[in-house]
Amino acid sequence: MDGKRKADSRNKKKKKASEALDILAFGAHPDDVEITCGGTLIRCADQGYRVGVVDLTRGECGTRGTPEERLKEAENSRRVMGITVRENLGLTDCAVTNDEESRLKVIEVIRKYRAKTLIIPHWEQRHPDHAEAAQIIYRAAFLAGLKRFEAEGQPFRPEKILYAYNFRSFVPTIVVDITDQFERKLEAVRSYRSQFDPCASQDPPLRWVMDMDKMLDAKARHFGSLIARTYGEPFIVQQVIGIDDLVTMSFRTM
Ligand SMILES: [Zn+2]
């Protein structure tokens, strides 16, 4: 290999390494991750981790706001959250389907960012796109690690999947303390002015949206109370979590 090719290969490797993230969160639509796990993403960024968000669609079927507005709002929110990258895969809103084309896009983004921890939507959801997204991403995360699976990028399989949820009350397996991040979570959600600005809509059925701050406050307080903190965000993992140190484990019985 001559000098120039060696340098090119070094630069390529450097670029690959610089793209690598610690945590990658997926949402079906712009604003999903802010609502379900925004505080956790901010906390991870505060801790110095490289955090990324991938939105599957541009939310073009939404009642309010244009796709262009929502992209701008998503970028504003990215800055508020202090996360490293945000990407939109451009799947079709309200028609998210667990097909080969969609899986391929997700596989390539998983291989590109090589995050060991993924946060993805829970599989039971009110909005069909959210439920379908869970299926696509789980399958893509598995396939991304197969050496012989043909897709862009080097094989890579994430180690952990955390499921985020916002629809019903449920018993989480993990709650992240977001007390210090809660105000910034609200600010990130408010970045979506087209969706949540009380002045932007007079539509009575959307009144709950206008009370988004209160709803998020109530939910985060509820889950925070489960771990004796002011605010928390809940997740489900499908595995049993092992503990290394019983004395220092973050847990209170009374
Ligand atoms: Zn959504």
Residue 6 CB contacts under 8 Å (≥ 6 apart), including other chains: none
Q: How many CB atoms lie within 10 A of CB 144?
A: 24
CA of residue 10 to ligand 1 center, whole Å: 40
Inter-residue contact 159 to 204 (CB < 8 Å): no
What is the structure's pLDDT at 187? Answer: 95
Closest CA to 51 of 18, 72, 29, 25: 25
CA of residue 28 to ligand 1 center, whole Å: 5
Write out the residues surrounding ion ligand 1, Cβ under 5 A.
28-29, 32
Rounded Cα distance, 23 and 20, in Å: 9
Provide the residue ranges of all domains of the chain, joining segments of one domain with +. Answer: 19-236
CA of residue 55 to ligand 1 center, whole Å: 9
Percent of the chain with pLDDT over 70: 87
**Residue-wise pLDDT tens digits, 51-75:** 999 999 998 887 777 888 889 999 9
Closest CA to 32 of 141, 137, 127, 158: 127
**Residue-wise pLDDT tens digits, 80-126:** 999 999 999 999 999 999 999 999 999 999 999 999 999 999 999 88
CA of residue 177 to ligand 1 center, whole Å: 23
**Residue-wise pLDDT tens digits, 114-157:** 999 999 999 998 899 999 999 999 999 999 999 999 999 999 99
pTM of structure: 0.88
CA of residue 26 to ligand 1 center, whole Å: 11
Which CATH fold would you assign to the domain 19-236?
Answer: Rossmann fold (3.40.50)
